[in-house]
Amino acid sequence: MSANQDGTNLLEVRGLTKIFGTLTACDHIDLDIARGEIHALLGENGAGKSTLVKMLFGSLEPNAGEIFWNGQAVRISSPGVAKKLGIGMVFQHFSLFEALTAAENIALSLDDGSPISSIAAKARALSFSYGLPLDPE
């Protein structure tokens, strides 16, 4: 895959750094991702993988560095800002409310007020397209 038609990458990270006290979790990370690319983030426990993705999703503020989305410098100050940009995240350890249906759990992450029946229908269709057995209700 290559950069967008105008030469920009979908996501660029330059010098992203996160420090917790005396621990530097991410030290001047550079990353380029073109539209349509899939990347794996690999490393030992404590290498900073989760810290990096949390900065990209707005759950953590970097101490230094820049994030560019479609060639524009952005400040991702919250997961809501990330979602508006079109950045989604599936964390390694996620939490569901076991008393709720799959559709109700999905609804908790949406801001548009979609009816549960609509969310369930979309989830059912998507899971079917991937060959996954999911009853969202």
Residues in the chain: 137
What pLDDT score does 4 carry?
Answer: 59
- CATH number for the region 11-85 comes to 3.40.50.300
Contact present, 17 and 24 (Cβ < 8 Å): yes
- The residue extents of the domains of the chain are 11-85, 95-137
The span from the CA of 14 to the CA of 125, in Å, is 38
Q: Please name every residue paired with 33 in a beta bridge, in sequence order, or none if there are none.
A: 11
What pLDDT score does 3 carry?
Answer: 57
Residue type, 14: R
Show pLDDT as tens, one digit a residue, over the chain (137 residues). Answer: 455 566 779 999 999 999 999 999 999 999 999 998 888 889 999 899 999 999 999 989 999 999 999 999 999 998 889 989 988 877 665 667 778 888 888 888 777 788 999 999 999 999 889 888 888 88
Contact present, 61 and 43 (Cβ < 8 Å): no
The span from the CA of 7 to the CA of 23, in Å, is 36
Q: Please name every residue paired with 69 in a beta bridge, in sequence order, or none if there are none.
A: 11, 72
